[in-house]
Amino acid sequence: MTPARPLVLGALAALLAACAVAPPAPSPGELPLRVSDQPPFAVSWRLTEAPASVSAAGILQIDGYVDRLADATVELAGLDAEGRVVSRATDRLAPRAFAGDAAWPFRLRLVPTGREARFAVRVAEFNWKVEPFTGR
């Protein structure tokens, strides 16, 4: 066995172990909050409020066009009584596999300002893949 082979095998074993312990994305039924007013996206999440932070964990589901989507940014926004954003956190999401995953997990956390009347999660931005025109 060459000296490099144990290193490669060790790195591969560590990578496989890390993949094995990654928890599966929750299903939408496990997440009590949902919004789908931005087609082709639907966002499902669970909100956890604590004195020093607010967090949202959930999934972004994409209905169709998954193969053309490069990434999306999900935002947790703290809104005041008039609906103005007074705090926010974002997470940029990308496909987890080359197969075109239709559900992308996210986790957001923000420190509230104290002026929030409610919290909302939405798709703040998304980008399409740039593909060269082949002329066919």
Q: Where are the domains of the chain?
A: 25-128
Q: Is the pLDDT of residue 63 over 50?
A: yes
> What pLDDT shows up at residue 22?
46
Separation between Cα atoms, residue 124 and residue 3, nearest integer Å: 49
> What pLDDT shows up at residue 48?
95
Tokens of 12: 């591969």
Of residues 68 and 126, more confidence is placed in 126
> What pLDDT shows up at residue 18?
44
- Let me know: does 80 contact 86? Beta carbons within 8 Å: yes
3-class secondary-structure state, position 128:
strand
> What pLDDT shows up at residue 17?
46
Q: What contacts 122, CB < 8 A, 6 or more positions away?
A: 35, 38, 43, 74, 75, 77
- For 51, phi and psi rounded to 5 degrees? -55, -35
Q: Give percent of the chain with pLDDT exceeding 90.
A: 49
| CATH tag for 25-128 (out of 2.60.40, 3.40.50, 1.25.40, 2.30.30) | 2.60.40
Separation between Cα atoms, residue 83 and residue 122, nearest integer Å: 14
Tokens of 30: 């496990």
Separation between Cα atoms, residue 66 and residue 115, nearest integer Å: 37
Of residues 124 and 68, more confidence is placed in 124
Tokens 């002329």 correspond to: 135
Of residues 42 and 2, more confidence is placed in 42
Of residues 131 and 112, more confidence is placed in 112
Tokens 């496989």 correspond to: 16
> What pLDDT shows up at residue 5?
58
pTM over the 0.85 mark: no
